[in-house]
Structure 1
């Protein structure tokens, strides 16, 4: 045992992926090769998830549910409880490769979904969507947060949940437009009046939520608690935003203008993908999540033909059909329903259910003011309650940084 390694620390040893003695001809086990293990894991998750999706589609379930269940089947909530299954199919030695690839793919997914959005629509957003978005955000952050404070005062809970329940309540105010867009697209109601109004409302609320998330990440990075350090972190984020909007975007538009009348060539696409990797790297450097930069870059790229359409044509299937399910499977693999603290569960459930009801009521209040039928308001309220990968990613980050524990 190396005395420099603290007790309780898991030591991951690098493996040689090019060993020639791990095939059946040398009487070896191919799954001891990281490459073979990774390919087997992807294939297995994809096949099982698609089978579950075929069963759940008639019930109206989103593919998100199928992908998570596919991961849970092989995780500690399912077959992963059997040691032989865990060590053979999803051993600890292969977790790092699988999770890193899934996170890397998630960056492309968020980028593609952001390319589909036109930020100019926020400026042109009709009064109805703006009113609904502000109503949803303000009420959903006020009521659940107040309820969490009351629960902390009058209900017994363990220290981990007590420290994180207010943050959980605040997170319910987030209405990520990417989730709403994916859901509306799967339900095939994106181009309906209700779908467009719900998406514009989510975009209006998400502007405030996105800024709040940036501040929360900045505070998390400010371990010293000094105001000067926090200010520097926020200024670094602003500098990255200005770099994307006033340097990268004009450069992309300049190159696009030079290629007017000609098809978008491969070099131009690669050029933008390199930008994507750079802004993801810079996001991590300034203390934010690596997804922040790709989202801003995607919004900065012109929607529609020729560039936006070319990017979607080349990346849509790969991102949404392959990389997106991988991250959901990772979330399922890390879920262990047998470790749920049921006392904490009902306390968190109260917060979540209250938030869902408040969000629907907020849409109805704004809809009444704008003369929108209550039936459409209920539908929009249910849509705006949708949760997806961004929320999973956020909670995974909080869990890893021990901000949200005990739940």
Structure 2
């Protein structure tokens, strides 16, 4: 890490863990009470305890391992919110126009920023990717808090966010494979082609399993009943959770074996756990346990870990910082707005969709963290992306409430 030369007060591991968790939970609670996602407070906890402020804790391998588990569970939680049918819905009719513009306008805007500031190709692509993504869990939480999750606009925001997240994670898988080449045009083209074939095979496997599960589920509650028999026949506690967790780990292992990041497999595997196919009670129980593990312990440590690695002092190019903030903010809103208008929505509805897609939050920070820990971006770019994630997540609920209020007045 780039902090290696700094002097730290070396505290025992469990003391570090205790300090991180307590402050992360306290500041996370404060953020929730102020109407913001808990992750904002958790990141601030890491910034305060890390090199940026009090310099009490740095990110050790042990904290990094716990953070990886946090990422794993967060991705599962995001995947549980999505059905493959939802993805197909985002590709149907005029929704596809919003989905494409809301992703590719910010993506190419991010590429333009990287090119303008003379950044390397890999850094430029990650800028585009992080600017293009929408944090699906954050969007769902915001819309739930406003009572707009089931509204027509709310549903469009969610379907477009699903498309954005799936596409971003797919591109991430390709980037990770390309990173290990010698960067020549021939090598990149070869690896990209092989990666696309691997990805196609993986998606084909997903499709086959999804089709088989749907066929089996036509026999009323067949999969649910078989799971019940299996769980009832096992004496070990939490057998259902273990079985579903193993199912997801198998997919994570497959994607790692194919050269992609484990979160790709975990995300898509969680999507297969459809309550209509394996039983709503099973999915609810699994989701509840996963949320408990993630939100009580692993997720706060992950976000606090991001704060530990964040360094405002590492940002030397303030022009790049403010450009990334401006481009990320406006390109996403404009992309959603143009897509909405072209799909036949009125101006205010289209504007509301653009605002609703602007929060980056969890998924953008997961991708930024992967890029940084893999050495694909440096500390300065990582810190800029953290600030971008925080700023867009803080401002989105405020603007979205205002926008929905304007829409409600017209009804």
TM-score higher than 0.5? yes
* Correspondence 1:52-63 to 2 at 5 A: 52-63=27-38
TM-score (norm 1): 0.75
Cα distance between partner residues in 1 of 2:197 and 2:36: 42
| Deviation of 1:249 (Å) | 8.0
Alignment equivalent of 1:136, drawn from 102, 106, 111: 102
| Deviation of 1:299 (Å) | 1.0
Question: 1:347 aligned to 2:312?
Answer: no
Counterpart of 1:365 in structure 2 is 338
Counterpart of 1:15 in structure 2 is none
Is the 8 Å Cα contact of residues 116 and 308 (structure 1) preserved in structure 2?
no
Alignment equivalent of 1:317, drawn from 292, 300, 310: 292
Q: SS at 1:127's partner residue?
A: coil
Residues 263, 380 of structure 1: CA spacing in aligned structure 2 closer, same or farther, 3 A cutoff?
A: farther
- Greater fraction of residues in helix: 2
1:49-70: per-residue Cα shift (whole Å, max 9, x none)? 2332344445432211111001
| Deviation of 1:119 (Å) | 1.5
Residues 134, 229 of structure 1: CA spacing in aligned structure 2 closer, same or farther, 3 A cutoff?
A: closer
| Deviation of 1:366 (Å) | 2.7
Counterpart of 1:49 in structure 2 is 24
Cα distance between partner residues in 2 of 1:316 and 1:262: 25
Cα distance between partner residues in 1 of 2:161 and 2:58: 40
Alignment equivalent of 2:179, drawn from 214, 220, 223: 220
**Structure index of larger Rg:** 1
Is the 8 Å Cα contact of residues 118 and 303 (structure 1) preserved in structure 2?
no
CA RMSD of aligned residues (A): 3.3
Alignment equivalent of 1:69, drawn from 41, 44, 57: 44
TM-score (norm 2): 0.75
Is the 8 Å Cα contact of residues 254 and 265 (structure 2) preserved in structure 1?
yes
Is the 8 Å Cα contact of residues 110 and 178 (structure 1) preserved in structure 2?
no
Alignment equivalent of 1:246, drawn from 190, 205, 208: 208
Residues 166, 345 of structure 1: CA spacing in aligned structure 2 closer, same or farther, 3 A cutoff?
A: farther
Counterpart of 1:282 in structure 2 is 254
Unmatched segments (≥5 aa) in structure 1 = 1-7, 11-29, 81-85
1:165-204: per-residue Cα shift (whole Å, max 9, x none)? 4541354223353443344445554333332221112223
Cα distance between partner residues in 2 of 1:50 and 1:245: 39
Is the 8 Å Cα contact of residues 103 and 327 (structure 1) preserved in structure 2?
yes
Counterpart of 1:124 in structure 2 is 89
Alignment equivalent of 2:65, drawn from 100, 119, 132: 100
Counterpart of 1:109 in structure 2 is 74
* Correspondence 1:194-233 to 2 at 5 A: 194-223=153-182, 225=184, 226=187, 227-233=189-195
Q: SS at 2:275's partner residue?
A: coil
Is the 8 Å Cα contact of residues 174 and 192 (structure 2) preserved in structure 1?
no
Alignment equivalent of 1:256, drawn from 220, 223, 241: 223
Cα distance between partner residues in 1 of 2:289 and 2:125: 42
Cα distance between partner residues in 2 of 1:185 and 1:206: 19
1:77-125: per-residue Cα shift (whole Å, max 9, x none)? 1111xxxxx3xxx366xx1112101211321221132122122123234
Unmatched segments (≥5 aa) in structure 2 = 5-9, 233-237, 382-411
Q: SS at 1:121's partner residue?
A: helix
